[in-house]
Structure 1
Amino acid sequence: MCAKVLVVEDEEAISHLLAYNLEKEGFSVATCADGDDALTAVDEEKPDLVLMDWMLPNVSGVELCRRMRMGAETREIPVILLTARGEEEDRVRGLDVGADDYVTKPFSMSELVARVRAVLRRTAPALAGDVASFADLVLDRQNCRVRRGKRDVHLGPTEFRLLDVLLQRPGRVYSREQLLDRVWGQDVYVEIRTVDVHIGRLRKALNRGGDRDPIRTVRATGYALDETYAG
Structure 2
Amino acid sequence: ITKEPETGTLLVEHLERLGFEPAWFREGAPALAWVQQNLPQLVLLDWTLPDTNSSPICEGLKLELSTNLIPILLVSVETQHEDNVHGLEVGADYRLTRPFTGEQLGQAVHTVLSRRQHLQKTGTRGEVHFRFPSDLSSLEELNQRIAALSRLSGLPAPQVQQLTTAVREVGMNAIEWGHRHQVERVVTATYRIDQKKITITLRDTGPGFDPNPWLPAAGGDPLRHLTVRQTLGLREGGLGIGLARNMVDDLQYNDIGNEVRLVKFFPPREEPEA
Instruction: Report the TM-score, using the length of structure 2 for normalisation.
Output: 0.40
